[in-house]
Amino acid sequence: MREVLEMWKYSRMIASFVLAAAVYAVVLWVFAPLWIIPGVTGIRIANILPPVFSLLFGPAAAWGIAVGNLIGYDILGGALTIGSIGGFIGNFLLGYMPYKIWHRMFREPPHCRTLSSVLKFEFVTLIHAAVCAHVISLWCEAVGFVPYTPLAFIIFTNDFLAPAIAGPILMALLYDRVRRAGWLWTDVMKGYEYLPTTVKKRWVIGTILVTIGSVIGLVATIGVGLGLGQPLFFGPGLKFIGTPLVATGLVFLIIWIIGVALLE
Amino acid sequence: MSTLIELDDVWVRYRMARDYALRGISLKIREGDVVGIIGPTGAGKSTLAKVMCGIVPNLEPCDEFRGYVSVCGLDTREVPVGIICRRCAMVFQDYEAQLFRTSVELEVAFGPENLGLEPSEIERRVKWALELTGLVGLERRYTYALSGGQKQRLAIASVLSLQPDVLVLDEATSDLDPRGKLELFQVIKKLIEARIIKAAVIIDHHLDKLAQLANRIVVLKNGEVIDEGTPREVLTKVELLKSLKLEPPQVTELFHRLGHTRDKLPLTIDEALEHTKNLRARKPERTEVSKVDKVLSLRDIWFYYVPSEWVLKGINLDVYRGECLGIIGQNGSGKTTLANIIMGILKPIKGRVTLLDQDVTEKGPTARIGIIGYVLQNPDYQIFNRTVYEELAFAPKHMNLPPDEVDRRVKHVAKLVGIEHLLDEDPFFLSKADRQRVAVASVLTMYPKILLLDEPTTGLTPGETRDLMDLVMKLNRELGMTVIVITHDMNVVARYCTRVVLMKSGEIVIDTDTRTLFKNIELLRQNYIEPPQIIEYTVRALGEPYLTVDELIQHLER
Amino acid sequence: MKFVLYVDANSPIHRLDPRTKLYWVLCVFIWSMTFNHPLYTAAILGIVLATLLMSRAIKGVKFATIPLTILIAMCIVLWPLFRREGTTVLLSLGPLNIYYESLLYAVAVGFRLTAMVLAGLTLLVTTRIEELEAALVKLKLPYPIAFGVSAVFRFIPTLMGDAHMVIAAQRARGVDPLRGSLVTKIKNSALIVAPIFMTSMRRLSTLPLAMESRGYTPTAKRTYLIQLKMRPVDYIYIALSTALTATFIYMRLNGIGVIYPHYI
């Protein structure tokens, strides 16, 4: 987590931040969504970018995606609300999760030129989409903005499908160039490991907790929202779904937070 | 005079570079100096500028940095750039990236703010710098909404407000029209006379303009200083400059080829006119533009992005097989919009586009593949594949051609364009001139019959411009390819185009053969277009435009 | 699209200190979350609309009509499906009951969101980015972050221009992001996103050099051209907003203005 604040001491990281934010906002605008259910959910092409930026620019991508979304979507799109706070945090995590897991867990670079590299890329993409969907939707439900269940579904499809399909293509084109040009975040911020020399045990546990907190948490909370899990979690007696939903979501959020803390 | 900057045997090798960018440069910049630095691409001009400001070795990753650089007594290896810039500050070539604040006044204030000056002093300096650069009245404008020329002025203003001792300009006036460029050079001259700035270092390709400002010219080649002297001493070495693919002033070249000795060579048109005695030439033959075989026809094209704000107002244009058509006009006159209409990327609101007798008005770019190839001003807009080979193969693959045909086309085009040796390279790391060649080649593999180029020579040196356009004309001659080139480089127009269309606010002002256009110097002036030196000279001396030095010499009566 | 929301005018709202306006937006967010009865949230929307009218910049807000309409429509459809509580059943769809209360709640949330969006927009149409930056710096946001965010606003239009050129160039080579199956569309889009990214990266590679060549050191102390000053009228606005906040919270605590007492 330290790198997230420390990055602002490097002007090249500030440039990476501007690059990530501006390109994200621009791509958000120039590509119309590809609708899956017209008007409700579609694939935003811009969502190819967060895992790619994250693995290249590290913390600058986390800030960049968060601010790019805030400016490109909320501010210039005229949708600045209390929901934007959740949006900011959720998008921040889109840019935070992939590099964080990668630089603790995987000793192969994310060049996406081998099957194993691609699979790892898909794994961090799955996590980042689940975390983002869970956090934003939980926030929106909690502040009485939009219900959790449909929103979580929409955000997850949005953040997972496009990068899962096209992320590896983009990564294979970009990784070597960015590295050669000296823009990888660990090339700018000396003292951080791009790939771990040894994978510590607590990082493995952290990753497992993060996976549970995000992927399983998302599925479980959606289930509660649909009324499925209620007998399981809260017994048959409870009628209300609002508060149990937030409670379920929070439990998994805490698991996830412990996981992230262990990744330090 | 005291020494401000001193370089002693400086060697620089960038990260992962095979070769040195600078090889043992020693140089002194003294008070009152205005030093012009010239040389071919890759000679190390920008690196030298960055070394003087401490950017190399502090900010650019280097594998090797040897030698000693002192800026006003500061060793650049020991002091951060943020401190050195108070003594020696630089304006970069790409103005977009160095304007990073939202408004004009904040952009200029950024430097003084970092110096920790009092708000009242910051305000004073902002006003002063904007006045010098002719930007008064634009204080609250948004940076992005300025024109290219205004952005370059702003980039210079925002460094002037630091009031450094030494000002370094790296191609910092390339987007200004000739008049604007001279104005800024005058400003720098005045600042040095008033001792507000103590010295300036200027990298520029326009040797004739540079000659009017600099008191010393340094010639670089392969990272070494190969010549140094007053402008007159250096610019009259016509053979040397030509061997470096630099363009000496055209009148200098003319008189050199007429056999005048070096001490008598003129640098400006006025000097040339004084030297002109008994110059007589046959009238050049009128080159007839063949108007037989129409390949592209635009009829009454109207277009807007925002309703009722017309960008194109009734354009009528025919293009004939085998010609080289130039489209000129100021920024915002609608040239690129017209190109996008021709390509089918935009559809006209009204009007008809006919291509090889086919109405393609309603069809998109896919219908034009194999007929028109489109090359843009920035090669990066089209290049993205991992190797040059893949880049060239990309479009034919997308046309679903069989692999052996794709391979044949790639090899054929690579040979034609002269990039066979680059096929395995990553295009991202090639020089701009090479990338532009790759961009042209990647379009040629679609075997187009017409080539449409939008500002293809922006950011190239005169030598590189010639190489690229010579290549295009080779395609024109050998393959009979029709060429349409949008450009603001009048040398390109004079040297290569057979016909020219001048656009102004969405309309065609004049559509004529090149020679007739250049006869009308008044019209050009009204449109802020400056003809090449040789044309202005011949119109004034002989009453008839000769388009190139070669043409004039061929027609001379001795 | 619009790159700048600011509308130049000399209204009382324009003349307020940006910090006052930020505080007011925060208050509106709190007010609209205090109540969930449509009459009360409508009243808060009324306050926001009155402020917007006073700013004489309403033309800068018109573009938000469509996204806002979609947002409200989504609310009115979704909330009754997921807040299934109440006493009066309006409609019975098999096992699903739509309650009168949940519909009222949905309408209240609709007003709430509109109030928030319009409050945010009132701030943005009456405040220049540079004033907002100065305000955030005064409020102790680290300068590098404020600087970076402003730079994103600066670069979006430039990179947008580049993006359109890239799309033109790639379409002329037969890459069409609008044709083929969903997967083909996503893949083709990636082939357009790659050059957009690389062009931007090349452009911004000069940014850190240019920043430092103008004396910028991320950690150093600096001075500012824009000097903000709170005037008496600012204090009046702040006092008024605070008083309203206190009153509204007091009302809510006494059960006024709510449909569902246990939800926000």
Residue B66: give its domain's CATH number.
3.40.50.300
A71 touches chain B (CB under 8 A): no
Which residue in the set A67, A144, A148 is minimally distant from C152, CB to CB?
A: A67
Name the token pair of A51: 């895992």
Q: Please count the residue pairs, one from chain B and one from chain C, whose beta carbons lie less than 8 angstroms apart.
A: 182
Q: Which residue of A has its CA nearest to B385?
A: A173
Q: Please count the residue pairs, one from chain A and one from chain B, whose beta carbons lie less than 8 angstroms apart.
A: 16
CA angle B303/B308/B311 to nearest 5° reads 35
End-to-end CA distance of chain B: 50
Which residue in the set C198, C217, C224 is minimally distant from B119, CB to CB?
A: C224
Q: Which residue of C has its CA nearest to B393?
A: C173
**Do B186 and B330 sit in the same domain of this protein?**
no
Phi-psi bin for A112: left (phi > 0), alpha (psi -120 to 50), beta? left
With respect to residue B101, please indicate whether it lies within any of the assigned structural domains: yes
What is the model's pLDDT at position B320? 93
Instruction: Locate all alpha helices (DSSP H) within chain C, ordered by sequence.
Output: 12-15, 18-34, 38-54, 65-82, 100-126, 129-138, 143-172, 182-204, 207-212, 232-253
Nearest chain A Cα distance for residue B123, angstroms: 26
C237 touches chain A (CB under 8 A): no
Number of domains present in the structure of chain B: 3
Q: How confident is the model at residue A143 (pLDDT cuts 50, 70, 90)?
A: confident
CA separation for the pair B177, B183 (Å, rounded): 10
Nearest chain C Cα distance for residue A122, angstroms: 16
Chain A residues close to C70, C-beta within 8 Å: 39
Q: Which amino acid is at C8?
A: D
C30 touches chain B (CB under 8 A): no
**Do B108 and B175 sit in the same domain of this protein?**
yes
Q: Which residue of C has its CA nearest to B50?
A: C209
CB contact under 8 A, C190 and A48: yes
The segments of chain B whose pLDDT lies below 50 read none
User: Is a pLDDT exceeding 60 seen at residue A231?
Assistant: no
CA separation for the pair B245, B463 (Å, rounded): 5
Chain B residues close to C160, C-beta within 8 Å: none
What is the model's pLDDT at position A78? 73
C143 touches chain B (CB under 8 A): no
Q: Per-residue pLDDT averaged across C114-136, rounded?
A: 91
Q: Measure Cα distances from B39 to B43, B44, B56, B241, C219 in Å.
A: 6, 8, 19, 8, 38
User: Is a pLDDT exceeding 80 seen at residue A235?
Assistant: no
CA separation for the pair C204, B96 (Å, rounded): 9
CB contact under 8 A, B381 and C195: yes
Between B298-307, C88-97, C177-186, the lowest mean confidence (pLDDT) is in: C88-97
- What architecture is domain A3-199? Orthogonal Bundle (1.10)
Q: Which residue of C has its CA nearest to B105?
A: C225
Instruction: Locate all alpha helices (DSSP H) within A106-146, ordered by sequence.
Output: 115-142
What is the model's pLDDT at position A233? 46
Q: Which amino acid is at A228?
A: L
Q: Which of residues 82-111 of C touch A (CB under 8 A)?
A: 82-85, 109
Could you tell me which residues come within 8 angstroms of residue C164 by beta carbon, excluding any fewer than 6 positions away?
A30
CB contact under 8 A, A8 and C144: yes
**Do B111 and B68 sit in the same domain of this protein?**
yes
Name the token pair of B65: 């940095």
With respect to residue B310, please indicate whether it lies within any of the assigned structural domains: yes
**Do B99 and B230 sit in the same domain of this protein?**
yes
User: Is a pLDDT exceeding 90 seen at residue A185?
Assistant: yes
Dmax of chain A from CA atoms?
61
What is the model's pLDDT at position B558? 67
Between A125-134, A226-235, B409-418, B434-443, the lowest mean confidence (pLDDT) is in: A226-235
**Do B171 and B76 sit in the same domain of this protein?**
yes
CA separation for the pair C206, C49 (Å, rounded): 44
Q: How many residues does chain B have?
A: 558
Crossing angle, helix A201-211 and helix A83-105, to 10 degrees?
A: 140
With respect to residue B108, please indicate whether it lies within any of the assigned structural domains: yes
Q: Measure Cα distances from B169 to A118, B90, B284, B300 in Å.
A: 46, 6, 41, 45
**Average per-residue pLDDT in chain A?**
87
Cα–Cα nearest to A125, from A158, A84, A88:
A158
**Do B227 and B330 sit in the same domain of this protein?**
no
Q: Which of A173, A175, A186, A190 to mutate to test the interface with B (most CBs of B within 10 A)?
A: A173
Evaluate whether B368 touches B360 at the Cβ level (below 8 Å): yes
CB contact under 8 A, B429 and A18: no
Which residue in the set A12, A18, A173 is minimally distant from B384, CB to CB?
A: A173
**Do B359 and B425 sit in the same domain of this protein?**
no
Chain C residues close to B100, C-beta within 8 Å: 151, 154-155, 207, 210-211
C207 touches chain B (CB under 8 A): yes
What is the model's pLDDT at position A238? 45
CA separation for the pair B37, B170 (Å, rounded): 9
**Do B416 and B499 sit in the same domain of this protein?**
no
Q: How confident is the model at residue C174 (pLDDT cuts 50, 70, 90)?
A: confident
H or E segment to which residue A257 belongs: helix A242-262
Nearest chain C Cα distance for residue B345, angstroms: 6
Pairing of strands B62-71, B74-75: antiparallel
Dmax of chain C from CA atoms?
70
Cα–Cα nearest to B34, from B206, B220, B190:
B190
**Do B302 and B406 sit in the same domain of this protein?**
no
Question: What is the Rg, in whole angstroms, of the alpha carbon atoms belonging to chain B?
Answer: 25
* Helix/strand/coil for B512: strand
Express each pLDDT in A49-89 by its tens digit. Answer: 999 999 999 999 999 999 999 998 888 877 788 888 999 99
Q: How many helices (H) and strands (E) does chain A have?
A: 12, 2
Q: How confident is the model at residue A38 (pLDDT cuts 50, 70, 90)?
A: low
User: Is a pLDDT exceeding 80 seen at residue A240?
Assistant: no
Q: Which amino acid is at B84?
A: I
Transcribe B83-145 into DSSP letters.
HHTTTEEEE-S-HHHH--SSBHHHHHHHHHHHHT--HHHHHHHHHHHHHHTT-TT-TTSBGGG
Nearest chain A Cα distance for residue B490, angstroms: 35
What is the model's pLDDT at position A234? 46
User: Is a pLDDT exceeding 60 seen at residue A242?
Assistant: no
Cα–Cα nearest to B482, from B346, B319, B337, B350:
B319
Q: Which domain holds residue B324?
A: 291-371+448-516
**Do B64 and B204 sit in the same domain of this protein?**
yes
Q: How confident is the model at residue C209 (pLDDT cuts 50, 70, 90)?
A: very high
User: Of B447, B471, B492, which closes a domain?
Assistant: B447
What is the model's pLDDT at position A237? 44
Express each pLDDT in C61-88 by its tens digit. Answer: 888 888 788 878 888 887 777 777 777 7
**Do B344 and B392 sit in the same domain of this protein?**
no
**Do B82 and B220 sit in the same domain of this protein?**
yes
